[in-house]
Each structure stands twice: as C-alpha cells, then as structure tokens.
Structure 1
Amino acid sequence: MYLQFRDEVAAALTSALDALDLPTDDLGIEDPPEGVDAVLAASAAFRLAGEVGAPPPQVAGRIADEIDAAEYDLVEAATAQGPYVNFRASDAYYEGTVEAAQSETFGRLDPTGESAVVEHTSANPTGPVHVGRARNPIVGDAVARVLDFAGYDVDRHYYVNDAGRQMAVFTWAYETFDEDDLPDPEREKADYDLVRYYRKGNEVLEDGDPDEVEAAEEEITAIMQGLEAGDEETYDRVGEVVDTVLGGMRESLGRLPAEFDEFVKETRFIRDGSVDDVVDRLQDLDEAVYEDEAWQLDLAAYDIEKNFVFLRSDGTTLYATRDLAHHEWKFQNYDRAVTVLGEDHKLQADQMRATLDLLDNDTDQLRQVIYSYVNLPEGKMSTRAGTGIDLDDLLDEAVDRAREEVEDRLDDRIRDDDLTDDDVERIAEQVGIGAVRYDIVSKQPAKAITFEWDRALDFEAQSAPYVQYVHARCCGILEEAGLDSADTDGALAGVDASVLDAEAERELLEVVARFPAVIEAAAEDLEPHVVATYTREIADTFNTFYRECPVLRDDVDDDLRDARLALVAAAKHAVGNALGVLGVAAPRSM
C-alpha cells in the first residue's frame, strides 16, 4: 500500500501546486522527520519559498490548505508542520497493508518488461575461491535477487577467463608436473587438487633454472597463440583444466548460495570473430596509438590518464579486449548489463566504459557495482602462494560456531523433545552461512569490511541471527495458533484489521507496508544493503509489537487475536522475503 499511498500523495501535491500556480517538477516527497506522526512528508516549501516570496512554513501552510484528504482513499490528512506538509494514512491504508501482506510473494513488484544480466564473481579459475573475494558473489547474487524481485527478467552470468596467460600457465603446469612432485591437496575437491599444479608452475617460473623457464615460456606463448588462432586441440587442453577447476569453485559458491544461469567463456568471442572485429574497429579510432610494442587507446578525453592496451605486438589480445566483445554481446541481448567488480578493477571499469562509448555503444545500459574487499582481523590475504583463507574454510568455521551457539541456547527439554540432531545441523547451516552472507551484504559496497565472528553471530545485536530469530518467532506464533507456518498464503485474508489501532501495531504495519518501496529503491540504485537495513528495522519493530501486543493470550478477544495473527503473518512474509532477497535463509525454528 505504501507505493499507492505515495502516488496519492504525489497527486494531492500536484493538484495543490497547480491550484496555487506553482511548479510541480520537484514535490520533495520523503520520509518524515523522526517523531512526526505521518507516513510521508513533502519539503517542496523549501524550494518554492523564494518564488512565492514567503517563508517555507507559510508556503507549507498554503499547500496543505489546498489539499482535500477526502478526495483520496489512503490519505487521512495533510497538515503543515514548520516547512513540511505531513501526510497521515487512513484506516484503509493499514487495513489494505494487512490484506496485501498475506501473500507469500509480498514485496515482489510487477514485471518491468526489461531484461537484465548480472555478471559477478568471474574469478580466474586458478584455484579455490578466496575469502578476500567472497564479497563479489555475495553482493552480485544479492543484486541479481533484488532486480528479480523488482520485476526484471534476470540472468546471472560468470565470465570465465579461459584465454589469458594465467590459464596458459596453468595448462602448461598441469601437463608438465607429476602428482608425486606435489604436496597433498588441502581438501578432496577438484579445485584444491589442481591448484597444486598452478602453484608449482609459478614457483618454477619465478625461481627455476633459466633454461627450464625459457622452455616453459615458449610453451605458454604457444598455448596463448593457439587459442587466438582458434586451434581446437589447444581449446580442449585448456578447457580440461578450466572446467575441472570451475567445478570445484561452483561447489563452494553453491554453499553461499550463489548460482549462475550461464558460464560465459571468453574464448567464445575469439572463436566467433567478435574479438577480431573489435580490434579492427579500435585500430580505426583516432585515439588508437602504437606505443611500447602494443596497440593502445589514448583516453585523455575521458580524464583517464593511463592508456587502454588492447593488442600485443605478437597479435594476441588481452582480457580487457575480449571483455569489450563480451559487453557488446550483452548490450545486444539485454536491456541492462550490471557488472560487479572489486575496487582494484576501478581503472579497468572506467577504461571499459570509455572504450565502449568510443565504439558507439549505449553505455547507459551499463551499470558497474564497485566493492571493497573483505579482510579478517589478521589482515589482507593472497592465494597465489597458497596462503590465506579460502571461502570453504570460512563457511565451515561459520557453521561450527553457529552449531556451538545453537547448542548453548538449548536446554535439555527443548533439545530432547523438539529438535533432533538434523534440526540442529540445519539451523547451524542456515544461521552460520546466513551470518557470513548478511554481515558482508549489509555494508555499503564501497566500504572495506573486517569480518568479525562475535559481531556476525550475535543473536542479540543487529545481525543475521537477530533477524532470522524474528522470522522463527513469527512462525512459532502461527504454529501455536494451529496454522502451517510454511504455507500462510492467504490463510488469514479477510480478517477485520480495523481493530489494529495500538501504536505498536500501527508502527509495525507502517514498516511492513514500506517493503515494496525498499525493493524499488534497492533495484534502482543497485544497493542490496538497504534491504538489510530494512530487515533490522522491521525486526526491532516486531520485537516491540511482540512485547506490547500479546497475540494468543486468553484475554485477547477473537477478532483482535485473528487480526494480530494476520499482522504476524504479514511480518513473516516481509522479513522472510527480505532475507530471501539477501540470499539469507529464513528459518522456521531456531
């Protein structure tokens, strides 16, 4: 109902300003100041004061006087308070919110008719996913979920680097070294198995015998040139390594979960001629120069100081060159293209956008989400030498810690009667991995994160377990009332919600009602962290309602009981769907 209420407020303001012969281009609709009894406020009086020649409070009063709330279904009153016009909601707003939120799909917006591709993670398939890079799949998957919930037709892509030097090194190493010369793998998993060859290869290239290194470099160059030339045997050799490592990486990413609709290999654009076409067009640009034995673009006109290198002297292209062809393919097949990148790719992102513009692409289709990295308290980490912590390690630790926390919170009676070992394991998995994911996605992407266990797994603080517990509590109330908490779609529709007039009830309804607008804003700005902020707000508001408004107590009459149960179901849907948008499990019990 919030979106409809906002539309009515906009219509009321527009009508009032038209009557006063004032411009309507900026209505200034916003959340009211804290402590104000209103759902929305308008600050247009600030903008119009100079034009009217009167102080903002006086202008706000004139606007409010022109609004007849009786003309609108959801607006109860429009009143001036200082420089603001405040809009209170009618009973129909609150009753409509209860009714709308009985749907399990509450918050999902109507289809936009637009398609979007979200490319994220795209880590080079050279070994296990490292925890320092874990923010990419978590943020990327959440962005895709937000867009999907906002009505876009979304595809999730992983762009695979299978043509660069790293994969040539990996292929050479895999074909050169015997397993007997390698340490045991850290896990029985494909990516951990093969990464040993890659690390061994880098050791040899850095510190090996000069003759051995020279021979290796010749083979590595031959592999790269074979890929560029379209040699099928070379494709097969590299593909064996790439696909095997990707298989292991996908298992790890699936635990988050982060799933993909397609793994798009860069060799695809070499083989179909797209890369050659891009190179030809780049060389024809006035900005193209040949310097330092490479073709480059001078992007000074875009305030980019470093040239964009797109072709080596030996005729081989670079990852960024192939990514240009990849982006043009996205533009041809999708209305919006979103790419999630680490902060160390900021220059590359700027060069990519500028070059795509020079190639006459509509770069308004492109949105780039830049994020900073995740650190653990001991500092930044690197995987190239086999140091640091892998994503699997982090998730295992999260589940172990969550299991301990759950066990500590269970007394013997609850443990024996209500929760089996399987239940405890399920909750530990949902809470532990949810804690990691929530802690990372809840921060603004540009801000660096130092992940801390005590904060992430704090059931009392504003963490994933805190929000998850609210969902479980809603389910518990519904189950106690004889309802199936796994299927409450419409089960409490048609109740008399007019009896929900207590302050705590109205505040919870107002927060529930805002959920679709939160999805709308998160999708517009590609900021899933605003959904996390919303989950904390609704969790706090629900807990206040829970303390002050008993649902199933004997002295609560039937009409109020049913209405409060409907409000609990509404809150469950809002919390559960918000967690789902973040990729965090919403447990029915904890």
Structure 2
Amino acid sequence: MNLFTDIRAAVLAALDQLVAAGELPKGLDMTNVAVEPPRDPAHGDMATNAAMVLAKPAGKAPRAIAEALADRLREDDRIATAEVAGPGFLNMRLVPGLWHDVVRAALAQGRDFGRSTIGQGTRVNVEFVSANPTGPMHVGHTRGAVFGDALASLLDFAGYDVTREYYINDAGAQVDVLARSAYERYREAHGLEPQISEGLYPGDYLIPVGEALKQEYGDSLLDKPESEWLSVVRDFAMGRMMQMIREDLASLGVKMDVYSSERAITEAGRVEEALETLRGMGLIYEGVLEPPKGKMPEDWEPREQTLFRSTAFGDDMDRPVKKSDGSWTYFAPDIAYHWDKVQRGFDQLINVFGADHGGYVKRLKAVVQALTNGRVPLDIKLIQLVKLYKNGEPFKMSKRAGTFVTLRDVVEQVGPDVTRFVMLTRKNDVALDFDFDKVLEQSKDNPVFYVQYAHARVCSVLRKAAEAGIPADDTALAGADLSILTHEAELELARKIAEWPRIVEIAARGHEPHRIAFYLNELAAELHGLWNRGNDDAALRFIQDDKEVSRAKIALARAAGVVISAGLGILGVTPAEEMR
C-alpha cells in the first residue's frame, strides 16, 4: 500500500476531468506532477505541485488551476480538505481512516510492507569493492562495501533483479609486486632475512602466506630464478588474498554473487573483441593526443597511439587503449569488462568507486553508451573518504596492514551492525567522520542506538502485552479497532509509517540507500516522541487497562517496528530486541 501513489492517482484523475471539461488543454505532460509531504506539517498531510508544473504549458495562472483541482479533489471521500496556498500549491488533509489502513497494511504484509514493483524485474549489475587483491581491505573499502550491498538490497526490495559483482584486478603489475612481496615472506619462513625493498608490500598479513608457501612447496622455490617462481607464487598469493577478502566481506555480512577476473577476460580475447566492435563503429583510431594542459612534463612527446573517440560522448579528451609499445592501457581491459557485462544481458550497470576514480567516470560512461547505443545506462557512485577518530584524535594505526586501518579492524572494534549503519549516515559523495567512541554511545545523538532502541521498545511492548494476557500477534492486532487512535501524536506516527513505500521508491530510483537510514531515524523519533508523551499522559501509553484500547495502541507500535525491521534489513543491520 503506497498511499502517496494512490493520492497522486486521484490528482491525475481529477486533472483528466479538468481536461475533459475543457478547463485544461489536451496533451499536457503529467510526468512531473508529484504528491509529497508538505515541508511544514501544519499545512496538511500531502501537497501537490500540479498547478505549478502545468501552468506554463496550459497557459493558465497556477492558482486558477489549483482552485479548479481542489474543487474536484474535495469530491474524493479520502480527502478531508484541499486548500490552495501561495501562488498555487495545493495542500490536502486525509481522513483519519486512511492512516489506520496503513497500520493494518503494515501488520498484514509484515516486512514486505513497502516492497515495490517499480523495478519490473530489470536486470541490474552492481559492481562494488573491487579492491586490488594485494592485501586486506581498508576502511574506504568498508564504506564502499556497505554502500554497494545496501544499494543492491534496496533495488531488490524495489523489484529489480540484482547481481552483486566483484571485479578482480588480477592482470596488472600490482599482482607481480604481490608475488615478490610474498616470496620475501616465503624466504622469511625459511629463516632468511626478508628483503622488503621500497615498492613491495610490507604488511604482516603476508607472513602467513609465506608460511603456507613453505608448507606447500618446501624449499623448492628458494634457489630458482624469478622467471620460474613468479607465476607460481603470484597465483598462490592471489588465491590467499581473495580468500582473505571474502572473509573480510563475510565479517561485514556481504556476499558477492559473481567474481569476475580481469586476467580471464583478457586471456579470453575479450579486449580485442570489444575494441573491434568499437572500431566497426568508427570509434577506434590511430592518432596523436593534444599535449596535456598546464605545465608540460619534460618527458612528454607527441606519439601515435590507438585511441577511443570518447569525446563523441561528452568526455574531455579521447582516451588511449593501447600504448606505443603495443601493450594495453588500464582502460582497455575496463572496456572489455563492461562489454562482458553488457553481453551477459544486464539492463542497467552501477559501479561503486572510490573518490580517487573520479577521472574514470566520463570515459566509462562514454564507452558503455557507445557499446550499447545508449540502451544500457551506467551510473557511477563515488564514495568519499572516511575519517577515523578515537578519543577525539585521528586514528590511523594498523600494524597488520602496515599503513592503514583495515575493514576487519573496524568490524572487530564496533561490530558489523554499527559499522554498516554508520557508513550510511551520510550521502556517498560526502566525507564521513567515524568516531569509535561516539558510534557506541547510548544516546539520541547516536543514530544507530536511536533506531535500535526504538525497535527494542516495540519488542518490550509486545512482551508486556503477553504478560498482561493481551493477544498481540499481527493477525490479532490487525483486527483491533484502530479508530481508537485519534491523538495527533498517534496519527503523526501513522503518517510517518505511510511514507515508507514512497521513501523506498525514491531511494531506489536515485540509487541512494542513505535515504533509508535517514528515514529510519525520523521514524524512530516519532516513536520515541509518542513513548515519552505517555510518561506524562497515561492515555497515550501502549498498555492500558482496557485490552481493546491496548490492542489498537500496540498495533501502531508494532507497525512501526515492522517498518524499522524492514529498513534495517535493507541496510544489512540486525534489529535489536532489547538493549544491553
């Protein structure tokens, strides 16, 4: 039940009546007509911008349209009042029974309340994390992992067919560096002094890899030249690193559906295939790039390269796909990988990148647009930095990794639920402060605690109902006489519950899972507010002497708990049944 969708349909029907009556011209585009909560709740329950967006194409004053629309909407039994405000905004108040219907719907549908069909089974690939498999994942990867996983869950909840994917960058020079670093730890396992020279990975996490290499190969690799052991150690170390990455993700509650290998795609000839496809479109050519803007590098010289004509799709410059020495650029396998995803039949692609990948956005969008003739959209979400604090000071220590705080460091200190929720308390393109002390604080200023406490309070009400002999299963509560709920604070909580299906659809369309966390905080505030009012006004308490009155009030609390549980499920957070 999406009450906002229902009332919008009523607004559109009323507009159609005005068109039929000749009060509005035919052929008006109604796409941007919206129904949403007013900025000031004192103005009503819902507001529509219909008159404002239709005034210019209709050639009429917005207030005149609004007044005619209001007259039509007042005939709807669900709409108690329809009032024109300002230049043409239309505010509506709904009859209280609709809010009671929302409570019943939440109880009847449970955690499926708010589930949407807007995705219509559209196949979406969400690629996220994709950290180089050369070491543990750091806190930046943590935020990207949480964002990507929550976004995938949100899209699934909204009716999309979602695949979570990790792209393994296992074909670049960094994996050879990994092999050389692991080989030094292999030597160390044999009692030799490791030569961790500049450019190698110094973290202690490679010590177990070296020991495992010794157990697997004994001393057979010690006296061999690099040309003989490099590929062996590389594959072994890569396997161990990917196992560690999978375990790190599992500690955060993230499970990928697909792991794609850059090396496998390259060795299968997909790079040549993708580039030939683009060449057939006239988008691959041999040419010389303009010199870089700004200060000229001393070693720059014009040279002919194989280029992708990305400027044809809005990029700032054409992009090299092959170096002058004949080797691929980093961009070439990325083209092949996105071509591979398109070939697998996805209708939408979403990439979750770190903020340092901002320069890749235009070129990747250009190549996907070219390969699909604009049929498959690519949305790239950039994840800004996480700044860690502890005891009021920046926190940077990570002995195991060598240079950074790992995902596992964070999860071990505060737990996966706190980690996930806090990572979604800011929009992805805004830097996030993660204070180890504050995220564990039990106060209303801590959004994790605030939302979890609201759910725990609902569970407490249900336990007290059982002790009082009040039937409080969802079926019994849905059958309660909800007309008893008349206080403004009770109706306000029901109104907030009614926003849930709308928030799901807005967040899914915008690829913005942080909206779920924001909404849950607002819903928790309404529940806590009603609870606190009950401390002063006994008539607002959930448990009353009259069992029928209690059932109605408990039904409202339970409906809020249902939505909190569903929202936390999308975020990958386990709802708390009691606070310890």
Q: Quick one: distance in 1 between partners of 2:349 and 2:314?
A: 23
Q: Quick one: distance in 2 between partners of 1:192 and 1:100?
A: 56
Q: Which letter maps to 1:174?
A: A
Q: Quick one: distance in 1 between partners of 2:366 and 2:51?
A: 40
Q: Quick one: distance in 2 between partners of 1:357 and 1:55?
A: 41
**2:491 matched residue in structure 1:** 506
**2:371 matched residue in structure 1:** 359
**2:286 matched residue in structure 1:** 289
Residues 238-276 of structure 1, C-alpha deviation per residue, up to 9 Å, x if partnerless? 432222111112212222222211211122212332122
**2:537 matched residue in structure 1:** none
From 437, 456, 459, the equivalent of 1:472 is 456
Q: Quick one: distance in 1 between partners of 2:375 and 2:47?
A: 35
Contact 1:279 1:311 in 2 (8 A): no
Contact 1:107 1:519 in 2 (8 A): yes
Contact 2:493 2:526 in 1 (8 A): yes
Q: Quick one: distance in 1 between partners of 2:494 and 2:422?
A: 26
Using structure 2 for the length normalisation, give the TM-score. 0.81
Larger mean CA deviation between 116-125 and 558-567 belongs to 558-567
Query: 1:397–1:46: structure 2 CA closer, same or farther, 3 Å change rule?
Result: same
Larger mean CA deviation between 76-85 and 246-255 belongs to 76-85
Larger mean CA deviation between 509-518 and 45-54 belongs to 45-54
**1:97 matched residue in structure 2:** 102
Q: Which letter maps to 2:383?
A: Y
From 347, 352, 355, the equivalent of 1:343 is 355
Within 5 Å, give how 1:358-377 maps onto structure 2: 358-362=370-374, 364-377=376-389
**1:409 matched residue in structure 2:** none
**1:248 matched residue in structure 2:** 244
From 552, 555, 572, the equivalent of 1:566 is 555
* C-alpha displacement of 1:24: 5.4
Q: Quick one: distance in 2 between partners of 1:552 and 1:442?
A: 30
Q: Which letter maps to 1:587?
A: A
Contact 2:202 2:402 in 1 (8 A): no
Contact 1:191 1:249 in 2 (8 A): no
Tell me the secondary structure at the aligned position of residue 36 of structure 1: helix
**2:48 matched residue in structure 1:** 42
Q: Quick one: distance in 1 between partners of 2:202 and 2:114?
A: 43
User: Is residue 311 of structure 1 aligned with residue 322 of structure 2?
Assistant: yes
Tell me the secondary structure at the aligned position of residue 578 of structure 1: helix
**1:581 matched residue in structure 2:** 570
Q: Which letter maps to 2:52?
A: F
**1:202 matched residue in structure 2:** none
* C-alpha displacement of 1:361: 4.2
Unaligned runs of 5+ in 2: 213-224, 289-302, 535-539
Tell me the secondary structure at the aligned position of residue 111 of structure 2: coil
Q: Which letter maps to 1:11?
A: L
Q: Quick one: distance in 1 between partners of 2:548 and 2:413?
A: 47
Q: Which letter maps to 1:271?
A: E
From 360, 367, 386, the equivalent of 2:402 is 386
Tell me the secondary structure at the aligned position of residue 466 of structure 2: coil
Query: 1:349–1:382: structure 2 CA closer, same or farther, 3 Å change rule?
Result: farther
Contact 1:69 1:77 in 2 (8 A): no
Q: Quick one: distance in 2 between partners of 1:272 and 1:302?
A: 28
Query: 1:491–1:271: structure 2 CA closer, same or farther, 3 Å change rule?
Result: farther
**1:334 matched residue in structure 2:** 346
Unaligned runs of 5+ in 1: 198-214, 224-233, 399-428
**2:139 matched residue in structure 1:** 131
Tell me the secondary structure at the aligned position of residue 104 of structure 1: helix
Q: Quick one: distance in 2 between partners of 1:444 and 1:267?
A: 34
Larger mean CA deviation between 510-519 and 450-459 belongs to 450-459
Query: 1:87–1:94: structure 2 CA closer, same or farther, 3 Å change rule?
Result: same
Q: Quick one: distance in 2 between partners of 1:194 and 1:9?
A: 65
Q: Which letter maps to 2:81?
A: A
Q: Quick one: distance in 1 between partners of 2:140 and 2:174?
A: 19
Contact 1:132 1:381 in 2 (8 A): no
Q: Quick one: distance in 1 between partners of 2:54 and 2:61?
A: 9
Query: 1:300–1:327: structure 2 CA closer, same or farther, 3 Å change rule?
Result: closer
* C-alpha displacement of 1:513: 1.1
**1:526 matched residue in structure 2:** 511
Using structure 1 for the length normalisation, give the TM-score. 0.79
Residues 297-327 of structure 1, C-alpha deviation per residue, up to 9 Å, x if partnerless? 3534445345423223454334432222221
* C-alpha displacement of 1:588: 0.8
Percent of aligned pairs with the same residue?
29
User: Is residue 106 of structure 1 aligned with residue 113 of structure 2?
Assistant: yes
User: Is residue 540 of structure 1 aligned with residue 525 of structure 2?
Assistant: yes
Contact 2:128 2:145 in 1 (8 A): yes
**1:15 matched residue in structure 2:** 16
Q: Quick one: distance in 1 between partners of 2:285 and 2:348?
A: 28
Q: Quick one: distance in 1 between partners of 2:346 and 2:476?
A: 39
Tell me the secondary structure at the aligned position of residue 482 of structure 1: helix
* C-alpha displacement of 1:33: 3.0
Q: Which letter maps to 2:241?
A: V
Tell me the secondary structure at the aligned position of residue 115 of structure 2: coil
Contact 2:386 2:431 in 1 (8 A): yes
Within 5 Å, give how 1:180-191 maps onto structure 2: 180=191, 181-182=193-194
Q: Which letter maps to 1:311?
A: K
Contact 1:133 1:374 in 2 (8 A): no
Q: Which letter maps to 2:357?
A: H
Q: Which letter maps to 1:521?
A: I
Query: 1:192–1:342: structure 2 CA closer, same or farther, 3 Å change rule?
Result: farther
Tell me the secondary structure at the aligned position of residue 495 of structure 1: coil
Q: Quick one: distance in 1 between partners of 2:145 and 2:210?
A: 20
RMSD of equivalent CA atoms = 3.4
Tell me the secondary structure at the aligned position of residue 296 of structure 1: strand
**1:422 matched residue in structure 2:** none
Contact 1:116 1:153 in 2 (8 A): yes
Q: Quick one: distance in 2 between partners of 1:160 and 1:538?
A: 40
**2:35 matched residue in structure 1:** 29
**1:79 matched residue in structure 2:** 83
Contact 1:130 1:389 in 2 (8 A): yes
Contact 2:102 2:498 in 1 (8 A): yes
Q: Quick one: distance in 1 between partners of 2:541 and 2:173?
A: 64
Tell me the secondary structure at the aligned position of residue 323 of structure 1: helix
Tell me the secondary structure at the aligned position of residue 578 of structure 2: coil
Q: Quick one: distance in 1 between partners of 2:473 and 2:347?
A: 36
Contact 1:275 1:321 in 2 (8 A): yes
Q: Quick one: distance in 2 between partners of 1:196 and 1:337?
A: 40
Q: Quick one: distance in 2 between partners of 1:339 and 1:273?
A: 23
Number of matched residues?
522
**1:145 matched residue in structure 2:** 153
Query: 1:551–1:307: structure 2 CA closer, same or farther, 3 Å change rule?
Result: same
**1:226 matched residue in structure 2:** none
